[in-house]
Structure formats: C-alpha cells, structure tokens
Structure 1
Amino acid sequence: MDFNFLSPVSDFVLAHNELLSAQALGRKIKIHSAQQGIPDLDGVQIAIVGVLENRNDINYIGEEFCLDEIRKGFYSLFPGSWSISVADLGDIEKGESVDDTYFALKEVVNTLIKQNVIPVILGGSQDLTYANYRAYDSFAPMVNIVNVDSKFDLGDSTKPIKNNSFVGKIILDQPYNLFNYATVGYQTYFNSQEEIDLMDSLYFESYRLGQVSHDITIVEPVLRDANIVSIDLGAVKSSEVSLNQKVSPNGLNGKEICAIARYAGISNKVSSFGIYEYKPSSDDEITSMLVSQMLWYFIEGVNYRIKDDDFSDEYTYQKFITLVESEELVFYKSNKTGRWWIEIPFLSEVNNKLKRHTLLPCMHQDYKDACNNKVPERWYKAIRKNSV
C-alpha cells in the first residue's frame, strides 16, 4: 500500500522551518512536503502521522482542527545525541465519514509497523485509538494497551463509538485481540462505580493519579509490557496547558507526562504511540510546546532502547525464588538493564492466552513485597485473566 491517504505538511510550517537553526529538529528529520512528496522511509524508525479527525468528540461543534502549532514547536527543538531517523508524514484528513478516517489510519499504522517503523499519532479525539488497535488484527493475536487518562473511557458500548466509550468497543468488538488494558493517572471522581467495578472484574490494571504522582516509576513495568500507548491530554492538569485545553485542576504535571512518554519510548514492545484530545486555540503556545516535548521524550526513549536478553543464557540474569502463601514466585533480574520480571506459571489445563506472555515485567519492589509474603497485584491479575 502506498501512503496516498496522507496530505503534506503545510507550507506555513515549512516556511517557518526554513528560519530555524540548521541544528534544529525540523532541519534534521524527513518531511512530507507538497514539493518533495512522501519521504523515503528507508532507515526511518519513527514516523509522525497527524489525524485531523475530531467528529466523535462528545463536545464536537464543527470546529476545524489543525496541528501546525505542534509542528512548529516540535521542529524548533534540538535533538539529543540520537542515532535514529525520524520522518513527519503529514496528516490524514477527515474522511467522508469517521469510519473512512479510521480505515485510513488503520492502513497507515499497519503498513508502518510491518516496515518496523513506529507510528506516532497526533490526534484529534481519542477514539482514534480504536483504529490504531484494529491495525494489529492481521499480525498480533494479543495486544496490550496503556491509556494515560483521567477516565477509563469504557462508556456504553451499545451506543455509537465516541471519545469517552472507545475502550468498551475495543473489549467487545470481534476479533477479540485485547489481552490487557491499563489506565494510568485515573481520577476516581471522573469514573462511575460501575466502570471501576468492571475494570476489577476484567482484571485490568488501573493506577490512580495519586499513586503515579507519588512514585512515577510504578508505571514503567506496565509500559514495558504495552504494544499501544494512548495519551489523553485531559490527563494533564489545567495549569500546565492553554485556556482551550483545560479539563481539570488536578492531573499529571508536565514533568510526569514527559517521563511517561520516555518510559513508553524505552519499552521494547511499544510499537505505536498516540497523543490525543489536542484542542488548538489562538493562545496555544503552551499546549503545543508540551506535546512537542512529549514527542521529544518518546523519541529519546526509543533511541535508548536496550534489547533485553531472552533469559536463555544464565550468565545474563539473576534468578530469585520466593514463597508466598504456598505459591512459589520466580523473579528474574537482567544483568544488562537491571529490569525485573516475574514468571507466570503455565496453566496447561485452561485455554491459555499467555503462550507468549510467560514473563511479566515488574519492579524490584514486587520482589521485596513477595519476600514479605505479599502477592504482587500485576502477577495476581495476570494469573486470574489467564484462567478466565
């Protein structure tokens, strides 16, 4: 498939780019322009794709959508000492219907992933995550999604898809490819008790805003295990963004959201990354610069990816065994990266979804808790999910 769904980056942004320092990011990356066409993706590891679709936003009132300010901000940053190549492929315009946009996004994401390029989606409404997820249908039988959001977005899946109900569609629509869904930074008062109970009954993971702000490192294992990371800018507290973007006085701050973006980049499994619910406005330098910095940190993370060993060579890891409530828990620590995993026992008598998921990323703290006779919650949920 070629990329004929994509329209080039605007001449306005390209003219602005010409005025930047020769060392700026905008002068170092490959850009889809009207003059040059779509750049060659040979050697490219990350491709930025804008999606100008926000019609399934529950608050949509016909406003136009544009990513020029984000591009201007991002192009003006300076790269780190990176060895990876980045391309900006321009935008997927609104289709005749939202389904047309979904189809275009699904095709583009599918093509990029098959070429070992990580798509970074800059979106309108977060329901685009559904199209991103559907792009995996042909090659990934089990998909893990992390949603950085103040809400679970489960919604009423009997109604047409919206940006506050797309997760319900992901769970209930065939083919059933979702293995784990985790929400990072949720705020209890934005979620009904029914949704909180449903998350528990499906053994999905959720990390409250307070937990994340207290210790940002707790989200690293769940991001290490994710295929798709979707960030709702509504998870960011209002003092960090422009007037049009404000959602809640409480939320993640700029430093925390950038740390999460970096964790997503470092994860060897994350193969697509999206930032959604951007609302352009005339006073918008702050939000567009925050998104630019999130992009920067994601790219930085990808640049520093280290392939973990497969634990076939006993000299590359340390193995720890502890007993909790008569359960033998087996932990592994990589000598190369210092990262920890816990083994999920293979349950031969049940329909096992976990054939590829026998090692679950965890933290050193989980091992310490296990030594104190406390079962790690991620391990418990993975076991329960696997026996359902």
Structure 2
Amino acid sequence: MNFNFLSPVPDSVLAHNELLAQQTMGKKIKIHSQQNGIPEIDDVKIAILGVLENRNDINYIGEEFNLNEIRKSLYALFPGNWHTAIADLGDINKGESVEDTYFALKTTISILVQKNIIPIIIGGSQDLTYPNYRAYDTLMPMVNIVNVDSRFDLGDSAKPMKNNSFVGKVILDQPYNLFNYATIGYQTYFNSQEEIDLMDKLYFESYRLGQVSKDITIVEPVLRDANIVSVDLNALKASEVNLRQKFSPNGLDGKEICAISRYAGISNKVSSFGIYEYKPSQDDEITSGLIAQMIWYFIEGVNYRVKDDDFLNDSNFKKFITLVDDQELIFYKSVKTERWWIEIPFLEEINNKLKRHTLLPCTHQDYLDACANSVPERWYKAFQKNCV
C-alpha cells in the first residue's frame, strides 16, 4: 500500500497509550508506529489521518502544531459496542509547498475511499477541504459537501486560496463536480449580504445557528445526503474551547457538535469527515477532549448505519403522495428506520446532471408541511438546481 506521505504517531503518544486500561480505544485500534510501520488495513473501516498543514490560514505566522493531545484524549476513551476496525495512520507533514500537502492528502483520501475506508481528517486550516473534495474527481460524478461553520468561506476565487475562501475554488474550478453545498451553524453577522444572496442564487442550503440550536434534527437530512463533511472548530462557542481556540461568544455547543458528528456517521453516504482549524495551547485539555468526543460520536454513528435507502423492494418503504399547487410530491418512509425521502422529478427536456428520479432525504415535518400545501424548501432548491 503506497502511503509514503504518512509519518508515524509520535512515541510520546504511544508511551502514554501504554499506561491506559486494556479496554480503551488506544488498545483496540491499529496504530502506525515507528517500530511497526503502517498497519494492515484490509479489514479497516475507519482511518484517522492527521494533516499538519496550516500555511493557508489567513492568520498564519509560522507556528508549528501537533495533534498529540487529541490522540491522547481519543485513545483514553472507551469504545462502544462497535464492530468496525479502526486504524490511526499517523500524520501527513507539511510538504515543500502547500500544493505538495494538498497532493499528498488528495492521493491518500482517494486510496482510502476506493477501499471503502472512511478517513477522519484532523487538520490545520480548513482549506484542506479542497484537496479532500478533489480526491473524489475520479470516484463519483457529483459530490455533496456539508460545511459546519460560522461563515460560508466563499471568498474571492480570483485570489490565492485561503482557509476563508476555499469554497469559491470548489464551486468554480474544473472539473465541476459539486452538486450541493450546505452550511450548518452560520452566523449572519460574519457573512456579507452578497455572500448570503449568492448562496440563495446557487440554491445552496444554509442553516443559521439559531435554527440549529432550536432543533438539531433539522440537519439530519442534509448530512444524510452528504459525501464530505467538513467541520470548522470556529463554529463552536468560545466557552466550549481553550484560550487560543476562542473565536466567538456565540456558536454551537459541545452537545450539538457531537450530535452533528453522530448524524454524519449514521449517514450511508458520508465517506470522509474532517475537523479543521485546531489550535493547541497550554490549557489544551478541553478542545482536544471535545474533538476526541466528536470523533467518538462519528465512529459510533458509522457503527449504527442501516441500509434503509433500497427503494427497489416495495416492502422496504411506504409511499405517500400529496398535492401542492398542482405539483404532485411523492414521499417515501423507510419501514426499518422511519426516515423520510422526497422524490425530485426528472425533467425530460433538460440535460440535467442526474438522469433519473432522485430521492432527497427530508424530515417528517416536510411531509406534514406538504400536506398543509407548503412546498419543502429542500425540495424546491434541489428541483431548481436540477433545472440548471
């Protein structure tokens, strides 16, 4: 297996791991060490991957960082009743240039996803989402990204890419593989009106912090439809994290970000999960502990995945048809999980990207709204995007 780019987990972390109880995660997962090299990954389902790259952070001033505290926190947790094998493949170090790091990350993710291994990327700056997205170029025709962030990160795509402008590159750079982009937890005062308008114009989805905090379940369908989930730790409120990590007095709390991580894990489509903008400091136990718990909940979710989206067999689902303003809306409800989908019709006369009836994850509330003669917003945006 060609993983030349990976450096082993540091000995100091392994020494710490030796002192842990036999039942902890650190004793259960396969670890890339200096002594034993890269572990065998044929039966592995989830791979942890550190990326020590932060040079495209707009506030970068030359500082180095490591992920040792996150690993110590993660290894010390006790696993659930899990059946998936997990490996920690170590770190991708900074390349000669940022592009070198991007290439290493893109190549590594591509290899893992082709082997049906889900990478959990723990990184420096969030622009690493771009090579994560590019890893899918040869894997699938259209990609859905969910960004858990207080900002949209659209930026000016004409300028060199930074951690606050990578989404502009994702949208505008060829090949055009992006189908849907959704932001969870955005805060209006951190985004210009032009960016908010552009998100609407492109029929992308955005969930304000207030909406998410009021009802966390509204983000489950969009995560169920995602291939890539990217979390910016600056989406967290300041009271949840360490001194250097503090960004805004408002944001998601620890419970909400762990619920989002679990939803991402449960999704049958999510095949890579990234946590970015980590900034270690002396009082670091809190942030590293929270990231470890996010990873734990994501892995927990993966272990509870249920194949409930097989609509070829009629006994797997119930079908509901409603009429909204002369538009027939068709809903499906899984018998196994009671999760809901809505059908997006295929338009014959339009050379659309999907070429078939597409089922879009939705909520029970969307069905109730349709019964009350209100078109669900997710359906409307997906339908419009199909017409483009």
In structure 1, list runs of 5 or more residues that go unmatched: none
CA contact (8 A) 2:268 2:307 kept: yes
CA distance in 1 between counterparts of 2:201 and 2:111 reads 35
Give how far 1:355 is off.
2.9
The one-character-per-residue Cα deviations of 1:40-92 (angstroms, maximum 9, x if unpaired) are: 00210000000000000000000111000000000000000101110000000
State the alpha-carbon separation in 2 of the partners of residues 351 and 174 from structure 1. Answer: 19
> C-alpha offsets along residues 295-335 of structure 1, whole Å, 9 cap, x if unaligned?
00000000000011421222211100000011000000000
User: Which residue of structure 2 lines up, in the alignment, with residue 383 of structure 1?
Assistant: 383
SS of the equivalent of 1:330 reads strand
Query: Aligned residue for 1:149?
Result: 149
Q: Distance in 2 between matches of 1:151 and 1:283?
A: 26
Aligned residue in 2 for 1:336: 336
User: How far apart are 1:135 and its partner, in Å?
Assistant: 0.2
CA distance in 2, matches of 1:54, 1:236: 19
- C-alpha displacement of 1:21: 0.3
Q: Give the direction of change, closer, same or farther, for the CA distance of 1:345–1:178 in structure 2 (3 Å limit).
A: same
1:162-241 matches, cutoff 5 A: 162-241=162-241
Corresponding residue for residue 280 of structure 1: 280
1:243 matched to 2:243: yes
Percent of aligned positions with the same letter in both sequences?
A: 78
Partners of 2:83 and 2:118 lie apart in 1 by 15
Distance in 2, matches of 1:309 and 1:206, equals 24
What does residue 15 of structure 1 align with?
15
**Deviation of residue 357 (structure 1)?**
6.5
Q: In the alignment, which residue of structure 1 is the partner of 2:43?
A: 43
Counterpart contact for 2:24–2:75, Cα < 8 Å: yes
Look up the SS of the partner of 2:244 in the other structure: helix
Could you say which residue in structure 2 is the equivalent of 1:355? 355
**Which residue of structure 1 lines up, in the alignment, with residue 97 of structure 2?**
97
1:208-227 per-position Cα deviation (integer Å, ceiling 9, x unaligned): 00000000000000000000
**Residues 190, 269 of structure 1: alpha-carbon distance in 2 compared, 3 angstrom cutoff:** same
- The number of residue pairs the alignment matches comes to 388
- 2:132 and 2:356 mapped to 1: Cα distance? 22
- The residue that corresponds to 1:67 in the other structure is 67
CA-atom RMSD, angstroms?
0.7
Q: 2: distance between equivalents of 1:139 and 1:117?
A: 13
Distance of 2:151 and 2:165 partners within structure 1:
10
1:289-308 equivalent positions in 2, closer than 5 A:
289-308=289-308
Q: Deviations over 1:15-58 (max 9, x none)?
A: 00000000010000000000000000021000000000000000
Work out whether residues 346 and 357 of structure 2, in 8 Å CA contact, stay in contact via their aligned partners in 1: no
Once residues 312 and 67 of structure 1 are traced to their aligned partners in structure 2, the CA distance between those partners, rounded to angstroms, is 45
SS in 1 for 2:279: coil
Per-residue CA shift, 1:231-251, capped at 9, x if unaligned? 000000000000010000000
Q: 2:268 and 2:318 mapped to 1: Cα distance?
A: 20
Give the equivalent residue in structure 1 for 2:24. Answer: 24
2:326 maps to 326
- d(CA) in 2 for partners of 1:284, 1:128: 23
1:345 aligns to what? 345
Query: How many Å separate the matches in 1 of 2:358 and 2:30?
Result: 39
Please name the residue that 1:128 is paired with.
Answer: 128
Q: Using the alignment, how far apart are the partners of 1:67 and 1:167 within structure 2?
A: 25
Give the aligned residue type for 1:93.
N
**In 1, Cα distance between equivalents of 2:131 and 2:147:** 14
Which residue identity does 2:42 align to in structure 1? D
Distance 2:328 2:203 in 1: 21
Give the structure 1 partner of residue 159 of structure 2. Answer: 159
Over 3 Å counting, the alpha-carbon distance change for 1:246 and 1:357 in structure 2 is: farther
Q: Who is 2:374 aligned against? A: 374
Q: CA deviation at 1:356?
A: 5.9
Secondary structure of the corresponding residue to residue 230 of structure 1? strand
Deviations 1:224-273 (A, max 9, x none): 00000000000000000000100000000000000000000000000000
1:34 has 2:49 as partner: no
TM-score calculated relative to the size of structure 2: 0.99
- Distance across 2 between alignment mates of 1:53 and 1:145: 21
Letter in 2 for 1:172: L
* Cα contact 2:346–2:356 (8 A) shared by 1: no
